[in-house]
Structures are given as C-alpha cells and as structure tokens.
Structure 1
Amino acid sequence: MTDDAFDPDAVERGVRRWLERAVIGLNLCPFARAVYAKGQVRIVVSDASTPRALLAQLGEEMALLRDTPAEGIDTTLLVHPLVLAEFLDFNDFLDEADALLEAMELDGVLQVASFHPDYQFADSGPDDVENLTNRAPWPILHLLREDSVARAVEAFPDPDAIVQRNIERVRALGFDGWQRLLADDDPGPPPTP
C-alpha cells in the first residue's frame, strides 16, 4: 500500500475482518473472543512512515495502556501499514520495541507480540503454511498486559496445545482458504469452539 492509497478506515476494517474471521473465527487465540466482545481491544492505525516515528507512537501506546484500567483497554493493536513492510526489517524492529519496553520500565507489565503479512518462523520456509498463524493483512505490534496473559493461560487447560492446534487448522485451510477467509465478500467461518 502506498502513501497515496492510505485509507485508515479501510485498514481498520481489514484488521477487524482478520480478527473476527481468523483470530476469533478460527479460534487461533482462545483468549481474544472475550476482550473483543467487551470492546477492550484498541486498534490504532498508524500513519508513521519511519521506524523512528513508529517507535515514538509505540511508546505513547505503551504509556496509554499502562495508565488505563484493563476494563477500558485490555490490549492494543498498533497497525502500521506505511513502515516496516519488509519482514526482516520488521523483525529487527522488535528488538527496539523490547528495548523501549525496558526503558519505560514496563518489562513484566506489558509484552509485544507481532504479526506481519510475510511472517516467517525461524525454522520455516516462506511458503510454509504454518506461518499463517502469525500473518495479518498489515504489520501489527500487539501490546498485551502480562497480568491478562497470565490469567488467560491459567484458565486454559493446556496452553501448549494451542500452537499445534493452530498449525493443524491453518494446514487444513491452506493458502487458498486463508485468502478466501479474509476476502471482502467472504462471510467467514462459523465460530470455532
């Protein structure tokens, strides 16, 4: 997406479609449904066009999440369609995000998860379907509260099984199914238990 075509509303709609159809619809994250239904997911579409500007905005979002009760905002998705389009650059930027977290003394309070259109796990090839579990329509820095993550993991009987189950789901769906799932005209899957 170029600067000329930047439409923050369209980006947010695409992220919501991905959340509702893939993350929640396929139950890739069993913890997402409740906070999304309660309106506790903040989606911020950044207009940052440089990593430095994005890092500054990330700091602002970390401070806002730190200073806002979880009942208001439990988690934040910082979507940045204009910067870090190359996965390796995005992956390198995660070190800066973690350093900022430590500099703000939020290590152990917040954590940063990552999603990218070209996400690739370290031991996988770029065309391995397993990468779909961390692929999103645009690069996303996902800010999570450590306390919320800990409570969610405690409530889930076997959190380690989530990864394997997700791999099985995206393998069954395949790349073509994934693309259809996120298409504008696809109603999405029925909710997965």
Structure 2
Amino acid sequence: MALSEIDRNLLERCLTKKPRAWEDFVDRFMGLVIHVINHTAHCRSVLLASTDRDDLVGDVMLQFVENDFAVLRHFRGQSSLATYLTVISRRVVVKKLIERHQATSLGSLAGEPHSNDASVEQRIEDREEVDRLLQSLGGTEAQVVRLYHLEGKTYQEISRTTGMSTNSVGPMLSRVRSKLRGMPQA
C-alpha cells in the first residue's frame, strides 16, 4: 500500500514543525506503537508491566523525533507510513527488550538482587490479594488470569488449555484488568 495523502500531509507537517503536527502524529500512531510493543513482547514471551510499556512507548517516540525527525526524514514512501513505523517500532522494542534481558542476566550473575524481586512477606501478601481478586471472577476469566499472571503461560498455551481462540485472550485480560481496577481494595 502506498503512502496515503493524509499520512503524506501529516509527515510533511511534522518535518516542517507545524503547530500541533506532533500531537496529530501521536494521536494517529500511538495505538499502532502500543500494539507493536504488546505483540513483540508477547511473541518473545515477555511480561510487561504498564510502566515497562510506557517506557517502551517513550523509547519508540524518542526514536521518531531524535536528530530532528531523522527516522521520519528517511521514509521513502515505498510503503504505507504505518508499515514503516511498525518496522521501526519493532526494532526499537526488540533492542530494548534484549538490553533489559542482558542487564537482568548480568545482575543475577553478579549476585545482585533483581529490582523486581520482593520479600517473601510481600509475595505472600500479593498472592493473598491475587487470590481474593480471582475469587471475584467467573470461571474462564479466573482461569485465564491465573494461567497468564500466576503461571506465566503464553496466549497460545492459554488458548490450548481453555479452548478459547488465541486472539480472544488479550481482550479478555484487558476486560478483567478494567473490572479489577474498579473493585474496592481490601
């Protein structure tokens, strides 16, 4: 698919630094960037906290604006802008995930505690909270949450276990998270 007129105009506005151009760019492509981050992490069986996802969004967006929009200036229009940005986003995310994995591996080799390690007491409290929240969910929802968050299963493994389609796992987890956020804390 060739570059659309809308994207051509948006790209030109960004490169000439027109007012609100960057905000319009972010509005148009933020969902794409988040999807690439989630998909890339999922394909590499990496669980991302929302703060990790936010950091990766920042890394990708920074890549787009670095050196006076160099990445956008290199776009040749031989594909859609979305396709080009998907490739760039994926490269940034893979690089950052590898860096994060290497830093974690080096830290554990040096005997340093992982930054996300919790004390035994905290883990017990967290597990009790998770168990309380799971009791408020129905059968399949609870099973999917348990498999994903507690057992670290991939979407494909959850699909095989539950019989639901792989493409339904992510949306169900999102709905459950929204539901749980609305619940009163113990």
**Where on the TM-score scale, by shorter chain, does this alignment land: which range?**
under 0.3
Greater share of strand residues, 1 or 2?
Answer: 1
TM-score (norm 2): 0.27
Larger radius of gyration: 2
